[in-house]
Each structure stands twice: as structure tokens, then as C-alpha cells.
Chains A and B, each alone.
Chain A
Amino acid sequence: MNKKILTLLLSLALLGSSCSKFLNVDEVNPNNASAVPPKLLLPAALTNVVKVMDNPRNFEFVYLWYGLWSISAGYSQPSNLVQYRLLNSSYQGSFSNLYTYGQNFTEIEKAASDPKDAGYLAIGMIMKAYIMQNLVDLWGNVPYSEAFSTDKGILKPKYDDQKAIYEDLVVKLDAAIALIQGLPADATEIGAASDVMYKGNMSLWAKFANTVKLRILIHQSGMSGRDTYIKSAIAKTASVGYLGAGEGAMVNPGFLVSDTMMNPFYETFYNGAGSAQSDGTAYYYAGKDAVDFMVANADKRLGRYFLPYSGTNYAGNWLGQNPDTHPPLLSGQTSKLGYKAGDAGYMIGTPTMAAPLLTDFEALFVEAEAAARGYITGDAGALYSAAVTQSYLHMGLTAADAATYIGQPKFTVNYDSANDKIALIITQKWLALNGIAPVEIWTDYRRTGYPAGLHFTEDSNKANDTPPVRLLYPQREISVNNDNVVAVGAIDPFKSKIFWQNR
């Protein structure tokens, strides 16, 4: 202590000479690094994005509105959700998080100026395209050309036209694929420790880019006069191929059994001790539409998505059933979400399993639809069967189970029995993506209207007959970027469709 006081007095006495040292103590931050190489940014950037996409709470409205899940009868049913009353505060977290996590890919791009680091540059571009596609699918016009541009002094990025963004994403993905194809021989090894998705396998990154691109294009298939554009865009990189079985974009930084470090889907329901999170498994239950569909089609995934409430009995509720006139089943008579400790084949899965950005079966469904629509060559039926099979395998079932399932001569499961191939593909995709890819489920419904016959909400006070077609801009944007939000024009959650919705 005395020494410190002495130092203090001394530094005072020597004011002028040692003063600058005394005053420079804050020029190095002892708490956080001030610069980090791309190698150490990439694992966090990928993990953060998957934590947004694979957290069911962020997109619970999709599972609940579209018949897959319901809310326990033991809880007050949140009126905003059940009655389609979206607010500017509803589900705004994903908007903010996708952009701020996207900034880290911008940092990776900036730090990858050396041609040897082109792999990092390509990954940054691909991931930003993935992020932007999801943002457009949820919010339509969003900041793009002026997003991630604080270094240009832009704090209020303008909102770009959604169609123009979609078109530019295709250009960016083409460029990223070209970068990967043109990687120099001495390119930096990215490696498994940094690339927690494809372990540095750049040809898989190229296929992932091409699949995201195909998904972007297929979303526009319902638009009139868009076929020529879609086909020519697909043709440019058709030779790269698409993700096949076992090639899904699965992120795993090494999830481990410890709070805040587990698979994000699992962690919504269970904590590190294997106990249920409060409001976790007790909150979400099975949706009646999904249970009924699977029971009707003898779908073995029923026992994987949901648990029997007794014996081999499964049941779900529709959302918003009126407790007085049409009481929902009590929680003890409703199926919970599928879970078996340590078994990745149940919906809740395990704490250590990889989290999906885009599963192989989703890719195969996209390819099946593209083939069925004649956008790509290939056997649409075979791609469809492969998609369902991969979904079965993902849920811990066997290829034989899948074959039995799709072999049933029913238009709801069998490709050849179905007259409307698109209806079959999208309905089965809805079921396969249960608990996996809610944004895509919502997009598919909005652009195609499948699956047909869903009950949405039964609440008599619902704000509209059918669910909203988009989310509202976040409150934060309205308060701090108001001019640009206003420039987009008035937003009606039931009428302001995303540009690709043509129905």
C-alpha cells in the first residue's frame, strides 16, 4: 500500500515526464481482445447463428399456428400468440441477433483480404446470404445494401427491396462458389477447430451455397413469369451439385452437458443436470393436426416427435380451443414433445448433438420440389423418397421403416399415388421439419398453401381468419431507424405479403 502511495506522490512530482504512462493505462483492454483472427471468429459466428435458428422459442408461432405443437392446458394461453395479434415487440430478437451475428461474418470477410484466405471470405459471403434469406422470409424489405456498414458511418441503414435482395443473394452465392472453385493450392487450411460445420471441407461449403441458392430460387416458384429467371440462375452452378444424404449443414462446436453449452433446441427443454427447464417440457405439447396426420398414415415418427400420454395413446390440441365450449385436453391427456434421455432420435434430442442450419432431408425436399417443377434434372420421386428416408434416419428409425411408410399406397405419403406432387412434397416437408426448420415451414405454407386442412387457431377472438403472413418490424427499428421503416410503407401483418407469396 505504502508503495502505491509513494508511486502516486512520485508520479505527481514527476508530472510531465511519467505522467503519460500514468494516463495510458486504458490503452490496452485487460478484459477483452481488441482484434481476433478469422480462425477464432468463425466457430462463434456459426454457433451463434444456429443458436438463433434452432431455438424453438424464436419461431414457436410456426409450430403452434401450423398444427405441429400446442400450449399446455395448464398454462394461460398467451392471447397475442393465440389470436394472431403480432406486436412490434413480437419475435424481434431474431432480427437483432441475425444482424449482429451477421456482423461477425463481415469481420471474417474483412480479415480475409489475403487471397490465401479466400475460403474464409467465401464462408462469410455464404453465411450472410443464408442470414439475409431468413430475414427476407420473415420481414420482407430489410436493410441489406447499407447493413453492416458502420465503417462507412451508416447508423441508419435504408431498407432494400426484398426481391432485389433475393436476386443479389444469388449473385453473392455464385461469387462465393467461384471463390471456392478458384481457391489457390496454398490456401489456408481452415480445419475442424475453426469450421464447426464442415470441418474445412470446402466442396461441401460449395454444395451448401448451391442448396441455399436453390432454396432461394424455389421460394419464387409461385410467382408468375419467374421461371426463366429461376432456370437460368440454377443452370449457372448446376454442376456444383446439392447437399445429399449425410451432407446436411449441422453445427457442433462441441456442445457439452453443461448449462449454456448444450444443443440450443435441447437446452430450451432441459438443463445441464438433465432436469426440465421451467416452462420447458411443461409448456409445449403436441398439436392435434400433426398427431392426427401421423396416426392416419401409420407414421413411426409419431413416437419420436411426441410421447404417448398413456400406453400407446397419443393426442394433441388445436391452438386456442375455447375452455368453455370446446375444452382442450388436459395436460395429462395430451402428448408431450418426444424425449428419451440420451437418445438423439427423439425430437428434443440430446445435449451434445449437432444443431441444424439446413438438414440433408430439407435439402432433398428442396431438390425434389425443384425436380418436380422441372427446374433441375433428376428423379423427383427418388429425391422425395430419399428425403423422407433421411428424416426417418434423423429420428432414429430405419430405412426399412421409411420404405414401409412411403410404400403405403396413399396420396398423403406415396409419390406415385399423389396427384399433386407439390402438395405431397410440401406436406411431408412440413412434417419432417417439425422441430427443425420453422422458418422454412412458414415460407412453404405461405407460398404454396400446404399442408391443406390445418386448424391454425380455434380462438374466437382471433384477429384474422388465417395466420399473419409476416412479422412486424421490431420496435427498436421503429424508434431508431424510423424514416427508413416508414419509407417501406404501412405494414399489415395479414396483407403485406413477402414478394414470393402469390396466393
Chain B
Amino acid sequence: MGVATAKVDNAELTQAGASNVMNGMTGKVSGLQINTINNGVNPDTKITLRGNRHFLASNQALIVLDDVPVSATYLNSVNPNDIESVNVLKGASAAALYGNDASNGVLIVTTKRGDKGKMTVKISNVTTFEKVSYMPDLQTRFGSGSGEAVGVADPNYTFWIGPGRNTDPYTSYENQSYGPEYNGQMVILGGKLVDGSYQTVPYSAVANQKKAFFNTGVTMQNDISVSSADDFSHFYLSFQDVKTTGTVPYDSNRRTGARMAAGRTYGKFSADYTISFTQTNTSTSGGDFNQSRPVYWNILNTPGQVPITKYKDIYNNPFATVDGYFNAYYPNPYWQLHHARNNAVRNDVLGSVNLSFKPVKWLDISDKIGLVYNGITDHNYKDEANFNSYNGTDPWGAGNTASTSTHWAGFSSDQMRSTMILKNDLLATVDQKFGDISVKVIAGANAYSQKYESQFEYAGQLVIPDFYNVSNRSGEAQVSQSTQKRNSVGLFADATVGYKSYAFLHLSGRNDWDSRLTRKNRSFFYPAGDLSLVLSEMFPSIVQNEVLSFMKLRGGWSQTGQIALGDWYGTLPSYPAAAGFPYGSTSGFALSTTLSNPLLKPEKTTEIELGGEFSFLKNKIHLETNVYKTNTRNQTIPATISAATGFFSALINAGELENKGAEVDVKFTPILKIGDVRWNGGINFAYFQSKVLSILPGLNEIPIPITASDGGNGATSVSYATVNEQFPNIKVTDVKRDPQGHIIVDAITGLPAKQTAIVQMGHGNPNQILGITTDLTYKGFRLSAVAEYRGGNVIDNAVGGGQGGGGIDFTGISAHTALNGRQSFIIPGSVIETSPGVYTPNTTALVANASRGFWVNSDYANTQRAYVTSAAFWKLREVALTYDVPVNQLFGGKVIKTAQLGIVGRNLLMLRPKTNVWTDPEFNNSTSSTNAVGYTDTYQTPPTRLYGFSVKLTF
């Protein structure tokens, strides 16, 4: 091939016991960026190759699993031990073979077919433990208080302590931590219960309070596989069970799967099939009964003197119940662990059949049939919560949740989603040599059909407690149904002409007909070509010296069409039933707010790539390098338009995104070899930049929405596509600044004021990714490690604040709210505008106190800029130490053929710039399907560290 490829084999993939294929790939291939965008028991990953090509359409690489194209998320269901290898095609040039979804690059995943020789049985166990590794920096000096007026309230619940009154008074039932400095005295926490009892706690910070809430998660991965093959047939069978309990108590995930592959050759015919089935059961906690906030929010909302873990028993501990919990505004986080659950069952089936007929030596005709099914059933519920009549009267005078409503209804929500893909490729391959010239031509036809179906039902007011069925309700059920179909047909040809063994010209072309576009636009053609020259064979003289041992240069050009319609019926106007309708017998419909467009065309990605491969010192050092540029034009965007048109957005083809980059991979085999000690290593580095060249004439910016699953927390995206800026551009709210960027403050209050414009802070995707892999072997011991650096991008850490009541500055628990000891201070580097346009350094205007007034109410804390930091990080992704037990010597190799013991660790270390005191910048508050990266909040629990052991036996 004349384009960049890379291969990761099973050993590399599974060396650190990753239970997820993508975690095992991270840091190992240049240009491949894998983000774990949220941790948890079933983490979501985002996979891109060489940056971004699309504003809104998916930028995730196409996965081709056993010749069947599947979505990137599909890989979460695959057992990494079943994978023979993952072949990474970094560019779009393979699109002729894999269709228009291949424009983002392709990961060709090949599963095991059975090793030649006697039957072998492999059994393995990997057990890993997961612990929260980093929490945001938290303060431990100040307790509950939020300025509830002290004069009139019951002194049992709210009072001043300590001499200084720079803070708010202590308030026993308050969630915010703007109270007085801790002094160790005994204080009431919460208030009197109906029986007159109350609790007291020392007014001092509980050590390790928030981390203690989280459990040590455990993942047990058990595998067994059987494999056997001879010259005419092969057979492979595997089972795997992966059971995970999470760091958030009661969160769990269990993935159980089986795979079988077999094949047989009968003379000119051969047949091969694979079939796999996986079931994944996931259970995570949902939102609280009041504001439906996530668990993590309620943990971060707990003042430091509260011993959180003592409120585990929500049934028997009177101070842990709905009525007795100290916090008058937010529920006990343990409540939602028991009473709000999101349960999902996912079934995945993948089958592939490959029939091949080879009538003559140079011709192969084959037919490849594939079927993918995945069905997901989400069953989410929240129980009702009831306050007793005593608490319903708001006895603590808090204006609290109980007095707002003594009854909080439960809900039950069910959704069934399924995707079915059927595809067939008929291929004819001619492979012939004419003297020095070799010719390989593949001609093929493809038919592809995908159907998505979803049904949703929701009962918002359950009547019988703890019984979850849509029929158990008052009021109307919410129901919806959606079907999407797409069919396509492709005809393609791919030819490679080689001269001797050193010059190869490869040309391909494909025409697709796709049902998602109207008849006029549904046919589109895309060509590609590349050339590679093995100079070291053309001119053997250049490798005469001892230094250079191999040299290959290559270059390629390709063009790919891609259909990027989110709604496959976007060419038709649509009138959905209006919100709330039908009201009984009154039906009502309203036009969609997205303007449909029958003239939509495919997006076009053009890619140019140049590369070289070099080996030095008798192949001890292998160097591969590439430069590339892709330009994607005609982007399909629901362009936000003036609402005065009557629509929020219009589907149009417009805009261009350019993506440039360079990659270097160096492999040392070995770096060092002394006796039995062998040290191999590799470095992979990618630099890339995605830049918006145009959007629409007169339109320079479009927001990139957080579409699905933003947790309903109302977060607004900070990601934009902005002309002449890198993509996605991160823009946030800010206070007024002088031309040098100093904060302008009021001469009297010392406070800054919000500015109306949003400001650009950087971009959400990294520019540099550096991966370092190394392994050291000594006899049966092998020590391997993978480290990764990413940098150049920024992240908005809403876990800190910036969106009014959204973060730990609002709750007053963050370390930096206590930096100035809650005393008066001058905002560092601030200026005062003495006359229009004239700014002098502020040396006099003090902010009255660095307490609630500043961290909750000031425009500084209510704008996002203060929470944007560099997203750079170094991570020690994997460390594994394995030992191959010399079973031959011990047992004579009769029963056990091999045995390996290992200690594994993942994400052991993370280094961030000092400014990022918040969380893992790899996370993102959106699902993998959107491009709005660069924002995290309390819906992502803190980053974790994994370590464990493995045992692998072969019989």
C-alpha cells in the first residue's frame, strides 16, 4: 500500500489486561486518538484518526470487524482476547473497498481463526482493582453556611462562631461551605427530627471525606478459548465473562460473550464463518429526587464536617433518611444509589460468512456476507420520595425541599433500540504476473442495508411505589417511535500494478448509490491512487553501507464522498406532533424547526499524503513518517440560522475543514541486548491541526451542539466551528478586560463585570500526541509500559464553576475559594478604568471578602474563563510485568503448555499543568457521537487508577 498503515497485534493489545479493545490500543499508534470520555463501569470511548474532518458528522473511525463495517461503539462489546490484530488505515484511501463511511480512516479488526497444530485450550483470569486517583483540589478550612439570616432564625441551626465575621454564619442544614472557619467545637448538623433527636459533629473537616465515598472497583475477566487448525480447516471457540463493580457504590457492568469461527477448504471452494454473541448488563445510579443531579454533584455539595459515609444506611439511620438527612436543599447521595437506577441490557450479534471459489490459480471469486445486530434495552427508574408531615412544615426554617413538596413522584422509563446491518460484497480478484510486472485487480459490488428502530415509553408519575411499569402511573404516558433505514449499492474496482518487487502503482474508484439522498444526488463517484517505491531494492547501492538497510517512499491522493445526515429523512419536510399533543381528542402538529433540503449532496474529503519508511543498522531501527492534508468540503450542516426565518436551523452543504498533520513512528528492536536482557522500545508522535477554512459567505461561526445524552443538565456547548480557527474552537463567557487582558474592576467594589461577548480560549482537540512504548525482557520476565502525552488544547472545567450554581466554587468546597482565607483581597493583576480607555493597576479596590459574595455571586465566578485550563497531560497508560513460568521444566509440558503470571496497572499516573486542579482533561460532557469536545462537568466522576494481576494458562 502506498499509504500509512499500522498494526497492533493481540499481545500488544492485551498486555495490560484491558477489558476494552480501545483502552488496549491507546498510545500505541501515531495519529490514533482514543479518548475515554467518561469513566465508569462501561466507559464510552471516542476514536479518531488524524483529527477531525467534519463539523457535525461523526469524526469517529470506521471499524471493519471481520469484513463487516460496524460503528466505533460496537468495539466495546468485543472481547480483546479474540482479536488477532487491528490494522489501522490512517487515511481515507481505503474507501473504495469499505465505502463512504471510511472517510475518517479505518480500523480493520481481524478475529482469531484458530492456530495451526494440535488443539490448544487457553484459560486466563485478569483481576483489576479501580480506585479514584484524583479529586479536584478541595478546601478543608470552612464549613456550612450560605448567609441564611442569622438574626431571626433558630440559634440551634444557625449561628456565628469564631471572632471573625468575614464568612457567613454556620448553618446546620446548609449545603454550601461558606460558613466560619473550623474550630473543632461540637455543632448540630441538620436539625431536630420529629422525635426531638438531633445529631452533633465536631466542627472540623473529615479527613479523606469525599474520596471515602467511592469504593474500590473490581473487574474480573475470565476467559477460555479452544483453537485448532490444519491445512484444510480451522476452528476457534471462546467464552468470556467480564464482571465489573464500579467506584460509585452499586454501579456494575457484566459482559458475557461467546465467539465461534470455523472454515474448510474443499478443492477450489472454501468457506469460512464467524459468529459472536455478547450480552452486556450495566447498572448505574441516576439523578436525585429533587433536581435530578448526579451522585458526584451531591458528593461535591457536602460540606467538609459531614462524615458522608456514615449516612450509608438510608433505611435505619434516622439521620440518613429523606427526613433526617442534614442537607435541607440536596438529598443524601446514598438515596439515589438505591432509588434511582439506570439499567441497560445490550445484546450484540455479529456473523460473517465468506465463500470463495478459485477456478484457476489467478482468479478468486468470493462473496462476503455480514450481519450485525445490536439491541439495547434501557430501563431507568427513580422511586418516589416522601417527607413526613413534621418535615413538611419546614421545621428548620430552611425553605427546603421538604417544605416545597412532601411528595416527589417516581418515574419509569423504558427504551428499546436496535440496529440491524446486512451487507454483501461480491468480489472478483485477479492476481497475475507477467514477467517483471505483477497485476492485482479487485472488482466488486456491494449492497448494504441498515435499519434502526427505537421505541420509548415513560411514566412520570408512578402510583404504586417500587413497581416499574409504564402502566403504573397517573396521567398520560410519554411514548415515541422512530425508524431509520438506509440502503446503498456500490460498484468498485481496485488495481495494483507492481514492477519487480519495488514499484507499485495502486488505483481505485468507487461509485455509490445511497438512499439517504434524493434521486438526483444519490449517485456519487470517488477515486484514489497511490504509488510506492522501495528505493533500497531499486538502487541496492544505497543500502551497501552499514547504516541504512531499507528505504521506501510513497505518496497517495484520494477523494471520498460521505453522507453526513443525522436524520436520514432530512431531505423531506416534517411535521412532528407538537409538544404535549394529542391532548385527548385534540391532535396538533407543528413544522420541524430544521428546514429540510432536497438538494443535499455528499460531503467530499480530499486527501494528499506522502510518506517514507526507513530501516537503519540492519533493521534495528525502523522509522516511518508521513505528512498529510485532508480537505473536507460541502459539509452537511444544520446551520443555525436566524430564528426570524421561522426555523432554528437549515440543512445545507457548506464549509470546509482542513486537517494537516505529520506522524513519526520509530521502533527500536532492540534498543539494548545484553545476554538475556532485551530492551525494545518505540516512540510515536503525531502533530495535527484541524482548521475551519470557510462556513458560509457572511457566516463565520456555528456552534457545535452537545446533542444526545448531556444528562439533561442543560449544559451549553462551548465548542464552535469558527473560520480561520482550529476546530473545535472553545469560546466562553468572561469578565471585562483591558486590551492587555487584565481584569477591569470597579473602583469601589473591586469586582469585575461580565462582558457580553464570548471570548476565544483555544481549541478542544490536542495538536500533539506522543506515545512511548517500551518492553524489557529477561528470560521469562517481561516488563512493558506505555506512556502518552497530549497537548495544545484547552478544556472548560465546569466542575469548578462558571455556569451559575454548577460547580464546586458555588458549593464553596473548592480549594481556591479558600485561597485568601475568605478575607478581603485585590484581584491579582486587576486594573481600574480611570477614564474611558485609560487603565491603571488596581492597588486599592478590595473585594469585600473572598467568600460567598465573590465565589457565588460575582461575575468572576459566573463566567467560564476562570475555569478554562490547558488540557495537556502525561499519562502512564499501562505498566505490565509478566513472567512465563517454565512449565516445560516443571511439568514436562504434558498438560500445561504455557503459563504466564502478570501484574498489570493502567492509568497509574497523570501529570497535568498546575492550573488544572479540576479533573481528567480527556473526559468530555457529551457522548462519543458529537464533536463538541472541551467541556467537563459533574456528570463525569473523578479519574481512576487500575491495577491487578493476570494468570494465563495454555493446555
Residues of A in contact with B (beta carbons under 8 Å apart): 1, 4-5, 8-9, 11-12, 15, 19, 22-27, 29-36, 40-45, 47-48, 51, 72-74, 76-80, 85, 87-88, 95-97, 99-104, 106-107, 142-143, 146-150, 154-157, 193, 196, 253-261, 271-276, 278-282, 323, 327-328, 330-333, 461, 463, 472, 474-477, 479-484
- The answer to whether A12 and B642 have CB atoms under 8 Å apart is no
B39: Cβ under 8 A from any A Cβ: no
Which residues on B sit within 8 Å (CB–CB) of A33? 574-575, 589
Which residue of A51, A79, A148, A483 contacts B646 across the interface (Cβ within 8 Å)?
A148
Which residues on B sit within 8 Å (CB–CB) of A44? 577-578, 581, 588-590
Which residue of A23, A77, A97, A256 contacts B522 across the interface (Cβ within 8 Å)?
A23
The distance in angstroms between the C-alpha atoms of A393 and B580, with both chains bound, is 29
Segment touching A, from B126-134, B144-152, B255-263, B835-843: B144-152
Which residues on A sit within 8 Å (CB–CB) of B627? none
- The answer to whether A276 and B586 have CB atoms under 8 Å apart is no
- The answer to whether A8 and B424 have CB atoms under 8 Å apart is yes
Which residue of A148, A282, A323 contacts B645 across the interface (Cβ within 8 Å)?
A148
- The answer to whether B641 and A281 have CB atoms under 8 Å apart is no
Which residue of B151, B587, B857 contacts A77 across the interface (Cβ within 8 Å)?
B857
- The answer to whether A74 and B400 have CB atoms under 8 Å apart is yes
Which residue on chain A has the smallest CB distance to residue B351?
A1
Which residues on B sit within 8 Å (CB–CB) of A19? 489, 513
The distance in angstroms between the C-alpha atoms of A275 and B410, with both chains bound, is 11
The distance in angstroms between the C-alpha atoms of A474 and B643, with both chains bound, is 10
The distance in angstroms between the C-alpha atoms of A48 and B593, with both chains bound, is 13
Beyond A99-B644, A147-B646, whether A34 also contacts B488 by CB under 8 A is no
Tell me how far the C-beta of A9 lies from the nearest C-beta in chain B, rounded to whole angstroms: 6
Which residue of A80, A99, A253, A259 contacts B643 across the interface (Cβ within 8 Å)?
A99
Tell me how far the C-beta of A242 lies from the nearest C-beta in chain B, rounded to whole angstroms: 28
Which residues on A sit within 8 Å (CB–CB) of B290? 278
B583: Cβ under 8 A from any A Cβ: yes
Tell me how far the C-beta of B373 lies from the nearest C-beta in chain A, rounded to whole angstroms: 9
- The answer to whether B424 and A278 have CB atoms under 8 Å apart is no
B445: Cβ under 8 A from any A Cβ: yes
Which residue of A31, A276, A476 contacts B574 across the interface (Cβ within 8 Å)?
A31
The distance in angstroms between the C-alpha atoms of A278 and B478, with both chains bound, is 20
Which residue on chain A has the smallest CB distance to residue B646?
A103
B320: Cβ under 8 A from any A Cβ: no
The distance in angstroms between the C-alpha atoms of A440 and B235, with both chains bound, is 79
Most chain A beta carbons < 10 A, residue from B149, B641, B756: B756
Give 17 A-B contacts (CB < 8 Å), ordered by A residue.
A1-B371, A8-B447, A9-B369, A12-B445, A19-B489, A30-B483, A31-B574, A42-B588, A44-B578, A47-B580, A78-B804, A79-B858, A96-B643, A196-B586, A475-B758, A481-B641, A481-B644
Which residues on B sit within 8 Å (CB–CB) of A477? 642-644
Which residue of A77, A78, A147, A261 contacts B580 across the interface (Cβ within 8 Å)?
A261
Which residues on B sit within 8 Å (CB–CB) of A95? 643
Beyond A48-B590, A100-B647, A256-B476, whether A88 also contacts B756 by CB under 8 A is yes
- The answer to whether A43 and B588 have CB atoms under 8 Å apart is yes
- The answer to whether B644 and A256 have CB atoms under 8 Å apart is no
Which residues on B sit within 8 Å (CB–CB) of A47? 578, 580-581, 583, 588
Which residues on A sit within 8 Å (CB–CB) of B406? 275
Tell me the number of A-to-B contacts counted with CB atoms below 8 Å: 307
Beyond A23-B487, A25-B515, A276-B404, whether A155 also contacts B641 by CB under 8 A is yes
- The answer to whether A275 and B409 have CB atoms under 8 Å apart is yes
Which residues on B sit within 8 Å (CB–CB) of A41? 575, 588-591
B464: Cβ under 8 A from any A Cβ: no
Which residues on A sit within 8 Å (CB–CB) of B461? 258-259, 271-273
B672: Cβ under 8 A from any A Cβ: no
The 8 A CB mask of B399-417 against A (1 = contact, 0 = none) is 1110111111100000000
Tell me how far the C-beta of A314 lies from the nearest C-beta in chain B, rounded to whole angstroms: 17
Beyond A79-B857, A254-B583, A278-B404, whether A155 also contacts B590 by CB under 8 A is no
The 8 A CB mask of B451-480 against A (1 = contact, 0 = none) is 000000000110000000000001110100
Segment touching A, from B270-278, B616-624, B746-754: B746-754
The distance in angstroms between the C-alpha atoms of A477 and B487, with both chains bound, is 38
The distance in angstroms between the C-alpha atoms of A79 and B592, with both chains bound, is 35
- The answer to whether A36 and B399 have CB atoms under 8 Å apart is no
Which residues on B sit within 8 Å (CB–CB) of A85? 753-754, 859
- The answer to whether B394 and A76 have CB atoms under 8 Å apart is no
Which residues on B sit within 8 Å (CB–CB) of A474? 643
Beyond A19-B513, A34-B573, A254-B585, whether A330 also contacts B578 by CB under 8 A is no
- The answer to whether B590 and A101 have CB atoms under 8 Å apart is yes
Tell me how far the C-beta of A321 lies from the nearest C-beta in chain B, rounded to whole angstroms: 10
- The answer to whether B643 and A11 have CB atoms under 8 Å apart is no
Which residues on A sit within 8 Å (CB–CB) of B949? none
Considering the complex of A and B, which 9 residue pairs feature the smallest CB-CB distances, nearest first?
A: A103-B646, A258-B475, A331-B399, A44-B588, A74-B399, A44-B578, A143-B644, A32-B574, A96-B643
Tell me how far the C-beta of B293 lies from the nearest C-beta in chain A, rounded to whole angstroms: 10
Most chain A beta carbons < 10 A, residue from B474, B591, B643, B698: B643
Beyond A74-B148, A327-B149, whether A104 also contacts B590 by CB under 8 A is yes
The distance in angstroms between the C-alpha atoms of A261 and B586, with both chains bound, is 12
- The answer to whether A261 and B574 have CB atoms under 8 Å apart is no
Beyond A23-B489, A260-B580, whether A272 also contacts B460 by CB under 8 A is yes
The distance in angstroms between the C-alpha atoms of A261 and B426, with both chains bound, is 53
Which residues on B sit within 8 Å (CB–CB) of A5? 369, 371, 422, 424
Tell me how far the C-beta of B774 lies from the nearest C-beta in chain A, rounded to whole angstroms: 47
The distance in angstroms between the C-alpha atoms of A271 and B701, with both chains bound, is 39
The distance in angstroms between the C-alpha atoms of A276 and B407, with both chains bound, is 8
Which residues on B sit within 8 Å (CB–CB) of A331? 394, 397-399
Beyond A43-B588, A259-B461, whether A476 also contacts B581 by CB under 8 A is no
Most chain A beta carbons < 10 A, residue from B482, B581, B592, B650: B581
Beyond A23-B513, A100-B646, A253-B581, whether A32 also contacts B751 by CB under 8 A is no
Supply 10 further A-B pairs (C-beta < 8 A) apart from A79-B859, A475-B758: A8-B422, A34-B573, A34-B575, A41-B575, A41-B590, A43-B586, A73-B399, A77-B857, A157-B645, A476-B640
Which residues on A sit within 8 Å (CB–CB) of B485? 25-26, 30
Which residues on A sit within 8 Å (CB–CB) of B515? 22-26
Which residue on chain A has the smallest CB distance to residue B293?
A278
Which residue of B146, B590, B647 contacts A45 across the interface (Cβ within 8 Å)?
B590
Which residue on chain A has the smallest CB distance to residue B578?
A44
Which residues on B sit within 8 Å (CB–CB) of A96? 643, 648
Which residue of A27, A40, A255 contacts B583 across the interface (Cβ within 8 Å)?
A255
The distance in angstroms between the C-alpha atoms of A280 and B569, with both chains bound, is 38
B805: Cβ under 8 A from any A Cβ: yes
Which residues on B sit within 8 Å (CB–CB) of A482? 698
B862: Cβ under 8 A from any A Cβ: yes
Which residues on A sit within 8 Å (CB–CB) of B699? 480
The distance in angstroms between the C-alpha atoms of A259 and B580, with both chains bound, is 9
The distance in angstroms between the C-alpha atoms of A344 and B405, with both chains bound, is 20
Most chain A beta carbons < 10 A, residue from B147, B399, B858: B399
The distance in angstroms between the C-alpha atoms of A48 and B579, with both chains bound, is 8
Beyond A44-B588, A282-B404, whether A332 also contacts B399 by CB under 8 A is yes
The distance in angstroms between the C-alpha atoms of A282 and B398, with both chains bound, is 11
Which residues on B sit within 8 Å (CB–CB) of A97? 643
Beyond A156-B642, A333-B152, whether A22 also contacts B487 by CB under 8 A is yes
Beyond A44-B590, A279-B291, whether A31 also contacts B575 by CB under 8 A is no
- The answer to whether B650 and A253 have CB atoms under 8 Å apart is no
Which residue on chain B has the smallest CB distance to residue A106?
B646
The distance in angstroms between the C-alpha atoms of A146 and B423, with both chains bound, is 48
B572: Cβ under 8 A from any A Cβ: yes
- The answer to whether B586 and A193 have CB atoms under 8 Å apart is yes
The distance in angstroms between the C-alpha atoms of A266 and B589, with both chains bound, is 23
Tell me how far the C-beta of A387 lies from the nearest C-beta in chain B, rounded to whole angstroms: 31
Tell me how far the C-beta of B277 lies from the nearest C-beta in chain A, rounded to whole angstroms: 14
Tell me how far the C-beta of A47 lies from the nearest C-beta in chain B, rounded to whole angstroms: 6
Which residue on chain A has the smallest CB distance to residue B810?
A76
